[in-house]
Structure 1
Amino acid sequence: MGAISRRRFVTGASATVAGAALSLYGGGPASALDRALAATAARAVRIEGTTLEQAATATGTRGYRRLAAGPGWPLVVRDDLAAPKPGRDDRRTGLAGFVQFTDLHLVDTESPVRFEYLARFVDSAYRPHESLTVRGASSLVERVNSLAGGPWTGLPFSLVMATGDNTDNHERVELDWYLTVMSGGRLTPNTGDLRAYEGVQNSGNAAYWNPELAYRDAYKAKGFPQVPGFLTAAGSPFTAPGLRVPWYTTIGNHDDSIEGSLPDLGLLNALYTGDRKLEGCDDADAARLADALRHDPASAVSLLAGLLGKGDVRKVTPDARRHPFTPAEFAAAHLDPARTGAGPMGHGFTREAVSSGRLYYTFPIAPGVVGISLDTTNRAGFADGSLGTAQLRWLEGVLRQHSGHWYDTDGTVVRGTGDDALLVVFSHHTSGTMGNLLPDPYHPFEARHDGAALVSLLQRYPNVVAWVNGHTHANRIIPHGHPVPERAFWEVNTASHIDYPQHARIIEVADNGDGTLSLFTTLIESAARYATDFGDTSNAGLAALYRELSYNDPYATPAAKLGAPGDHNTELLLARPGR
């Protein structure tokens, strides 16, 4: 669909939406929030179904806290990189609108290669709600399907991009679940014995939430409920609707390595598909393994093998589907015609990617707007990432292809023959989490490059307007300024959909007709209702519980991951690149 002027949508709608916003958030004298929400609604094409309208809010002050619908979050105009000019709403032309998913972490909770017993040292090792990740992700898809388009330009979404950690432990079965959630179809989020649950949540170990058992484990002592039938319902078959718009995939470290940290050199394949699951160990052993995962992945493998001989080991049903996938298999799975869904075929990956293992590519977002998906994982291990020299050189070639001019390393202007498309870069890692410069064991003589090197490269190409990423599980928007205004760009980092606040983000690109661009970022939640019912284990009930349990996870840090108002619903101004 071509560019759309906001004027076509806003006439006659603003007053109605603004009135609805004030009614929704209370009557009486307008508070500062009321006024901000009214001003936001007056500028927007629509706010329904987004956090501009309402957002999950915790009730109570202590213990297990229930969630309810709270006031929306108003638009914050950020002028870090360019000044907003009056009248731009009436001049604005929408160029592109799309949605970012990130860090879905679809988890095979019954896998033998899980480190739940490290939760007191590694907060992501175990989450009480993780058996609901597949249903939670499907509910997020439902939310996107329900939206008519972007709240600021009115454009329908051209695509959804999932920026990595789509699986949790890069197992084939987790990849199958991800592809089914995105493209639609019947799936069963269970492994091993499909008639039973064989994981820590019915182990009787008091360190975990045992939802179906009445006894007081450590989570129930904090107010977590008993939910009869929870595990049976969580692992039962259901039909995922799949996205109605095209979707693409960027790879993350959890899609690439063992638990996102250990290099996958094939040493644990037998454990993945075997019948022994370690569910507990003493504090000293857990502390040693947790430290090794952070600082010495090679020793972590041997420590894990030793624990299987003396820890709390449970017999589980073997399942060949738990086998980890390779980068080539990751790409090939996306090319399965049964996974095409709303398209495109391969979701960014090609047959060449299968043969080469190179998982970076370009794709069209809208006319005149091009996406670049990077692979920032490092197969040497550790959670953080970097880029290899070959990929960095490829990226510079793509930037030149789409730039009519750029800046040399000494700051001089170089004239080119590019098409002057606006460029949006996608990756899993952020500029601050790309310090892992260990040699890639599959390309040991290739240099690695950090986030600062990538920022420096992107700032040489004025057509780069945004770098969109995940990994941190937090909302944060970073301006990358430059003395030459057209060399600045925005970095948009979005929270995960496994840890609270479980967000995704709408991003819209608009030309203000005054020498500036606006990037609008709007957070969305899943379609799940806010109120939970511990007796409701339907799909809708479980999706609601997924959000509420994530807020109450005792190892979580909701406030830190939520971000500040300037990281939520924003208008990000920047200079339009010269021609």
Structure 2
Amino acid sequence: MSRTRSVAGSALGTNRRTVLAATAAVTLSAGVGYALRPTDSQAAPTTGTETAEVPVAQSRKAPAPPLAPYTRGTTLASVAAPRSASGYRRLGDGPGWSRKVRSELAAPKTGRAGRRTTLAAFVQLTDMHLIDVQHPLRLEYLRSTDRHAWRPHEALTVPGAIALVERINALRGAPATGAPLHFAMTTGDNTDNNARTELDWFLTVMSGGRVTANSGDPRHYEGVQNTGIKQYWQPDATVRDADKQLGFPHLSGYLAAAVRELNSPGLNLPWYSTVGNHDALPLGCYGHGDSWLAEYAVGGRKLMNVSAAEAKKLQNAIKDAKDPKGTAFRDFLKAHTRDMRSVTPDERRAPYTATEYLKAHLDPARRGLGPVGHGYSTANLDAGTQYYSFRIADDVIGISLDTTDAGGHYQGSIGTAQLKWLDRTLRENKDSYAVVFSHHTSESMTNTRPDPARPGERRHDGQEVVALLGRHAGVLAWVNGHIHRNDITPHRASGGRSFWEISTASHVDYPQLARVIELADNKDGTLSIFTTCIESAAPHRTDFTDLSQTGLAALYRELSYNAPGANLTLGGDAQDRNTELVLKKG
């Protein structure tokens, strides 16, 4: 196993040829199966004028038998599918999704499978939205105007995430090449409400340990699902709520099971973290700074029901970014004080700042298999930034962007300082290939509202980022999430330069996917990027009497399929799921 270093600044050290010459190592391209794994995190100089320590890679040879594709447990083998045509639909084992070759950016050449060598293989997780469902700030009552505004399965985000970790741990190689997996990357919206409870649960799920997805009264659940309000699924009660009228089951003991202690094995790979708008902003859309909302978040009152007309007005204000600071939202809550219900106060529900987010990742107790900080470093703390770069392999660097806008709203952008840093990082590593990670997609980076901490700094949209990436020949892929949908887009720049934008579906909405991504050199002037979707390790079939950790994870998937208003097209077309994306070498 090799040893490489994660770097928080732009100086990633020497390129592949320099490293291999210095170590007299055998090149990665000389034999399939050399594995490079990031294991340490090291802060680079923040001035940009000093030189970071050179990462030295020491490769190990693969086992004697040739590597073989590993498709077990992936959507190439099987995908959850409904077993009936109407009503509440139970899931079972369905046929897998085949791999599609996409040639928009380069023509695939025959015989490439026998020539290619693997550059890197990793897993992307995105939009897990670990939800504190009892949090007072939550907007469940928007369901009175929009059925999708509250999901019946939200109490099971933690067992669902643990089952996804279990699936990744069970992979014995990459699905297309069989190469060892190097690392995992989360591309934001790891949490849902910017709550400390959720951040604690996320870090525990990823790094391993005992986790109890409960807040408020430690003895029982206090939320919308045991109120008797018929617009929410009341699983433990016999009340004929709106969801039961659609076939949702009566599950005695469901809520007690949902808030009991669980165990996560933690990822058996090093993992990195990218920030999303739900990680950075309360409810994913409101800027920090309102002391009343912060007090309300930890207090003992919760609004659970409003009229459809009032819900629609609030929803429109959020969608249209009319209230990025949450001032109108605060006034809305104050106006409904008499309509609130009592809940147990809990200081752990407090919103966390960007600094607290970084410190939580840097906590040694959250290291798991590393790297320390999971990409973030003390250099980020000193500079007040949440973007960084790291070396994936001798030939490949990774770049994690912060596309959230602290000024508010759920769409994204980046500031001038970060855009210049991105350009400099790519220039200084022009002899390496690059994979860029972010939360927002290029099309969803439309929010150029000023950052309150940097009011004079210009914000840049997604098309400006696309143009910058297109100027660098080494950029292979931009990997992101946010839109909760599988969507793969080719970007062609001048001079024959091109890259693929790979957007992956969330793990909170059906079909609840993550993605394995493999980079390979075809040794014929082209490269291939393989994408393979994976589900959690939970069985496709559910058992309503099984409220174990695994049973809850299976139920999480089935409930998400049946959620009223659920968009069942988020898995994308065949060309957006399991693919081989071909492009020319830059």
Question: Same fold judged by TM-score > 0.5?
Answer: yes
Bigger Cα displacement from structure 2, 465-474 vs 117-126: 117-126
Q: Is the 8 A contact 1:293 1:300 kept in 2?
A: no
Q: Is the 8 A contact 1:5 1:91 kept in 2?
A: no
Match runs of 1:404-415 below 5 Å: none
The residue number in structure 2 matching 1:469 is 480
Q: Distance in 2 between matches of 1:6 and 1:571?
A: 21
Given candidates 297, 308, 312, the residue that maps to 1:272 is: 297
The residue number in structure 2 matching 1:101 is 125
Query: What is the deviation of 1:266?
Result: 3.4
CA, structure 1 residues 457+129, in 2 after alignment: closer, same or farther (shift >3 Å)? same
Q: Distance in 1 between matches of 2:209 and 2:274?
A: 22
Q: Distance in 2 between matches of 1:175 and 1:557?
A: 27
CA, structure 1 residues 476+148, in 2 after alignment: closer, same or farther (shift >3 Å)? same
Q: Distance in 1 between matches of 2:411 and 2:533?
A: 25
The Cα offsets for residues 513-571 of structure 1, whole Å up to 9 and x where unpaired, read as 00000000000000000111111100111000000000111021012x11000000000
Bigger Cα displacement from structure 2, 159-168 vs 295-304: 295-304
Match runs of 1:33-432 below 5 Å: 45-121=69-145, 125-267=149-291, 268-295=293-320, 296-297=322-323, 298-311=326-339, 313-403=340-430, 420-432=431-443
CA, structure 1 residues 286+274, in 2 after alignment: closer, same or farther (shift >3 Å)? same
Query: What is the deviation of 1:82?
Result: 0.2
The Cα offsets for residues 374-393 of structure 1, whole Å up to 9 and x where unpaired, read as 00000111110001011101
Given candidates 550, 554, 564, the residue that maps to 1:540 is: 550
The residue number in structure 2 matching 1:457 is 468
The Cα offsets for residues 436-479 of structure 1, whole Å up to 9 and x where unpaired, read as 01111221111000000000000000100000000000000000
Bigger Cα displacement from structure 2, 488-497 vs 298-307: 298-307
Query: What is the deviation of 1:121?
Result: 4.0
Give SS of 2:536's match.
coil
The residue number in structure 1 matching 2:50 is none
The residue number in structure 1 matching 2:535 is 525
Q: Distance in 1 between matches of 2:397 and 2:493?
A: 22
The residue number in structure 2 matching 1:573 is 582
Give SS of 2:510's match.
coil
The Cα offsets for residues 334-386 of structure 1, whole Å up to 9 and x where unpaired, read as 01100000100100111122233200000122221110000000011111000
Aligned alpha-carbon RMSD (Å) = 1.6
Give SS of 2:175's match.
coil
Q: Is the 8 A contact 2:388 2:401 kept in 1?
A: yes
Query: What is the deviation of 1:8?
Result: 7.9
The Cα offsets for residues 201-236 of structure 1, whole Å up to 9 and x where unpaired, read as 111000000111111100000000011100100100
Given candidates 542, 562, 567, the residue that maps to 2:571 is: 562
Query: What is the deviation of 1:324?
Result: 0.5
Output the amino acid matched with 2:392: I
Give SS of 2:232's match.
coil
Q: Is the 8 A contact 1:186 1:238 kept in 2?
A: yes
Output the amino acid matched with 1:87: G
The Cα offsets for residues 306-358 of structure 1, whole Å up to 9 and x where unpaired, read as 343243x1111111000010001000000110000010010011112223320
Aligned residues: 525
Q: Distance in 2 between matches of 1:433 and 1:7?
A: 38
Compute the TM-score of the two structures, normalised by the length of structure 2.
0.87
The Cα offsets for residues 50-86 of structure 1, whole Å up to 9 and x where unpaired, read as 1011111112121111111111111100001000000
Q: Is the 8 A contact 2:83 2:89 kept in 1?
A: yes
Query: What is the deviation of 1:264?
Result: 1.9
The Cα offsets for residues 158-206 of structure 1, whole Å up to 9 and x where unpaired, read as 1100000000001111000000000000111100111110000111000
Give SS of 1:536's match.
coil
The residue number in structure 2 matching 1:446 is 457
Q: Distance in 2 between matches of 1:171 and 1:366?
A: 35
Output the amino acid matched with 2:581: L
Q: Is the 8 A contact 2:221 2:255 kept in 1?
A: yes
Output the amino acid matched with 1:289: L
Q: Is the 8 A contact 1:5 1:94 kept in 2?
A: no
Q: Is the 8 A contact 2:532 2:578 kept in 1?
A: yes
Compute the TM-score of the two structures, normalised by the length of structure 1.
0.88
Q: Is the 8 A contact 1:123 1:555 kept in 2?
A: yes
Give SS of 2:284's match.
coil
Q: Distance in 2 between matches of 1:82 and 1:177?
A: 43
Q: Distance in 2 between matches of 1:571 and 1:302?
A: 48
CA, structure 1 residues 4+51, in 2 after alignment: closer, same or farther (shift >3 Å)? farther
Structure with higher RCO (Cα < 8 A, 6+ apart):
2
The residue number in structure 1 matching 2:43 is none
The residue number in structure 2 matching 1:484 is 495
Q: Is the 8 A contact 2:145 2:309 kept in 1?
A: no
CA, structure 1 residues 388+124, in 2 after alignment: closer, same or farther (shift >3 Å)? farther
* Amino-acid identity (%): 53
Output the amino acid matched with 2:388: Y
Q: Distance in 2 between matches of 1:264 and 1:8?
A: 47
Q: Distance in 2 between matches of 1:165 and 1:8?
A: 33
Q: Is the 8 A contact 1:60 1:66 kept in 2?
A: yes
The residue number in structure 1 matching 2:46 is none
Give SS of 1:347's match.
helix
CA, structure 1 residues 523+5, in 2 after alignment: closer, same or farther (shift >3 Å)? farther
Give SS of 2:282's match.
coil
Output the amino acid matched with 2:305: G
CA, structure 1 residues 83+206, in 2 after alignment: closer, same or farther (shift >3 Å)? same
Q: Is the 8 A contact 1:281 1:307 kept in 2?
A: no
The residue number in structure 1 matching 2:53 is none
The Cα offsets for residues 128-153 of structure 1, whole Å up to 9 and x where unpaired, read as 10110011001000000000110112
Query: What is the deviation of 1:120?
Result: 4.4
Q: Distance in 2 between matches of 1:230 and 1:440?
A: 43
Match runs of 1:6-17 below 5 Å: none
Instruction: Extract unaligned runs of 5+ from structure 1.
Output: 10-42, 404-419
